[in-house]
């Protein structure tokens, strides 16, 4: 059955452009369109599409308001179309709060130039999200059965967030003094050479060698978390449960463009007891602080000073910038068995080959289960390759990380 799609945009150009791109794929059927949020709600109720592509700025009812109503009255998978600006990032995260599952850049030039990359990305996202039959919104975005209830969302509006202390005043953090000498590192291409076939999904149906081991390694030096589609909500679900004195540094690799990672890191920092910041070259690995890889770049542990990260330009040969594979490989090289790697929801197989290197070193690997994943691609690749020590529901990660005695 083709994925049934409703297109919502106040621009006639974009409605027709999106329709043209999607109609050329036999896996997709465009069943309707709407010019504003109010029409979108009506069409969603009447047509019951598998997926809605949703613009943000529209008359009568904007995209965010429409998402809230749809998620409350007729829950549907929603893909937001957003500009790559600071304001666009803020609005997109608000749409994810409201219940949208993913987003795609609305760059006028790319849409007008008939970009094959854009076409593939749009179609793949539509098919993946449209085919997802898992009831994940209530568990990820709310604490009740009423999807869209702002009082129970994991994401919380910035206006209601408690005031945060300066970074240096949080437990376990100290101000850096002076300017440490810049360290050089192996290039991204040399790291990639350690990850053969880094972008080839695991196709085998190998049963996981999981013993259900849900313990953090005794000598753990760092926790590395990789995610993509559905990751923003999953990360908040986990990180908001960690105490301020969490005893390990955390590295986060979420597939996002540069503008989005800076905004997302700030929002996480406001929501969490631990500190969260967008990583900068030379940032220290400090217990109780999470460093988010900046969009368009790669984040590795500096091989010449393993208490710091190295931020490197995104190599065009790598599909993902940032890449979970690259950061996992770096952690394997620097800390070996003293790593806890977590792979969360996302399309594709990024992280699987890096997990192989971690497995060779004896590191612990936890994967999110299918039932709680927005898209099971990334954790599934790790599970199918037999690399997961434990396969966990999204609700289990936070408590397990917060209490090492849990089993």
Q: What is the DSSP string of 292-349?
A: EPPTTEEEEE-TT-TTBEEEEEPPTTSSSSS-HHHHHHHHHHHHTTSEEEEE-S-SS-
Nearest to 394 by CA among 234, 242, 251: 234
Crossing angle of helices 231-239 and 258-271, rounded to 10°: 30
Collapsing DSSP to helix, strand or coil, 239 comes out as helix
> Is there a shared CATH topology between the 3-139 domain and the 201-402 domain?
yes
User: What pLDDT is stored for residue 84 in this prediction?
Assistant: 67
- The third-level CATH classification (topology) of the domain covering 201-402 is Rossmann fold (3.40.50)
Nearest to 232 by CA among 396, 78, 381, 94: 94
User: What pLDDT is stored for residue 362 in this prediction?
Assistant: 95
Give just the sign of the alpha carbon dihedral 150, 151, 154, 160.
Answer: positive
User: What pLDDT is stored for residue 329 in this prediction?
Assistant: 97
**Dist CA 8 CA 94 (whole Å):** 18
Give just the sign of the alpha carbon dihedral 29, 71, 237, 144.
Answer: negative
List of residues 6+ apart from 179 with CB closer than 8 A: none
Q: What is the DSSP string of 103-135?
A: EEE--HHHHHTT-HHHHHHHHHHHHHHHH----
User: What pLDDT is stored for residue 366 in this prediction?
Assistant: 97
Other Cβ atoms within 10 Å of 149 Cβ, number: 17
User: What pLDDT is stored for residue 48 in this prediction?
Assistant: 95
Question: Active-site residue numbers?
Answer: 228, 255, 350
pTM of the shown model: 0.80
In the DSSP assignment, the letter for residue 81 is: E
- The third-level CATH classification (topology) of the domain covering 3-139 is Rossmann fold (3.40.50)
Give just the sign of the alpha carbon dihedral 2, 3, 9, 13.
Answer: negative
Q: Token pair for residue 320?
A: 């993902």
Intervals of the chain under pLDDT 70:
84, 108, 110, 114-115, 133-212, 404-407
> Is residue 361 a contact partner of residue 389, using CB atoms and an 8 Å limit?
no
Element (H, E) at 39: helix 37-47
According to DSSP, the residues that pair with 291 across neighbouring strands are 251, 277
User: What pLDDT is stored for residue 200 in this prediction?
Assistant: 38
**Dist CA 107 CA 104 (whole Å):** 9
Domain limits, the chain: 3-139, 201-402
User: What pLDDT is stored for residue 114 in this prediction?
Assistant: 67
Strand 77-82 versus strand 289-292 pairing type: unpaired
User: What pLDDT is stored for residue 316 in this prediction?
Assistant: 76
Give just the sign of the alpha carbon dihedral 153, 155, 156, 162.
Answer: positive
Instruction: Give every strand in the sheet of 102-105, ordered side by side.
Output: 28-34, 3-8, 51-54, 77-82, 102-105
């Amino acid at each position: 059955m083709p994925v049934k799609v409703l297109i919502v945009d106040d621009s006639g150009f974009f409605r027709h452009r999106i329709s043209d791109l999607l109609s050329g794929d036999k896996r997709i059927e465009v069943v309707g369109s709407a010019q504003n949020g109010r029409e979108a709600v009506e069409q969603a109720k009447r047509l019951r599409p598998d997926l809605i592509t949703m613009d943000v700025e529209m008359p009568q009812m904007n995209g965010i308001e429409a998402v809230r109503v749809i998620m409350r009255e007729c829950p549907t998978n929603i893909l937001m179309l957003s500009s790559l600006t600071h304001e666009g990032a803020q609005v997109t995260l608000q749409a994810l709060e409201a219940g949208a599952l993913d987003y795609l850049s609305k760059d006028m030039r790319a849409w007008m130039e008939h970009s094959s990359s854009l076409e593939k990305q749009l179609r793949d996202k539509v098919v993946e999200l449209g085919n997802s039959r898992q009831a994940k919104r209530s568990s990820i975005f709310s604490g009740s059965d009423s999807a869209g209830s702002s009082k129970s969302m994991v994401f919380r509006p910035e206006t209601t967030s408690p005031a945060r202390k300066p970074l240096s005043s949080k437990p376990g953090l100290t101000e850096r003094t002076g300017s440490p000498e810049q360290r050089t590192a192996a290039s991204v291409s040399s790291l990639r050479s350690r990850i053969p076939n880094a972008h080839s999904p695991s196709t085998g149906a190998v049963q996981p060698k999981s013993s259900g081991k849900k313990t953090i390694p005794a000598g753990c030096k760092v926790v590395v978390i990789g995610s993509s589609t559905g990751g923003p909500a999953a990360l908040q679900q986990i990180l908001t449960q960690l105490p301020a004195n969490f005893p390990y540094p955390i590295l986060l690799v979420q597939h996002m463009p540069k503008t989005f990672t800076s905004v997302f890191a700030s929002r996480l920092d406001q929501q969490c007891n631990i500190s969260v910041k967008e990583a900068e070259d030379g940032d220290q690995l400090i217990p109780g602080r999470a460093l988010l890889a900046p969009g368009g770049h790669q984040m590795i542990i500096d091989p010449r000073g393993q208490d710091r990260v190295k931020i490197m330009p995104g190599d065009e040969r790598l599909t993902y910038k940032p890449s979970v594979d690259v950061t996992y490989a770096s952690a394997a090289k620097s800390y070996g068995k003293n790593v806890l790697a977590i792979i969360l929801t996302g399309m594709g197989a990024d992280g699987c080959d890096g997990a192989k290197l971690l497995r060779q070193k004896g590191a612990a690997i936890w994967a999110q289960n299918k039932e709680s994943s927005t898209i099971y691609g990334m954790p599934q690749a790790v599970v199918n390759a037999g690399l997961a020590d434990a396969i966990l529901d999204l609700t289990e990660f936070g408590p397990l990380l917060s209490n090492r005695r849990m089993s």
